Amino acid sequence: MNIAVAGTGYVGLATAVCLAEQGHSVVCVDVDKGKIDLLQQGKCLIYEADLEPMMHRTPIGSSTRRTVQALIRKPRSL
């Protein structure tokens, strides 16, 4: 299943990694370029037990089915 997760905070990142670990193709979208850069370097942004090892099993930017990708969404102008 293809899944998009908005935000890479505590809820979004943990959800995305867990879904990717289950074999889903997951895309994380965040407006914070700094978070995206860290994720693309394979760094875990939050502490949650066992989350970082799960992230490394589902590497960001990988072309495998079990992947978490990070994209930047530009905020809409009002």
How many folded domains does the chain comprise? 1
Tokens 């074999």 belong to residue: 23
Residue 32: inside a domain, yes or no?
Answer: yes
77 located within any domain: no
Q: Is residue 78 part of a domain?
A: no
- pLDDT mean for each 10 residues of the chain (78 residues): 86 90 84 80 85 78 43 59
Q: What's phi and psi for 56, nearest 5 deg?
A: -75, -25
CA distance 25 to 42: 17
Please name the amino acid found at residue 49: A
CATH number for the domain spanning 65: value is 3.40.50.720
Q: Domain range holding 35?
A: 2-72
What integer pLDDT is reported at residue 64 of this predicted model?
34
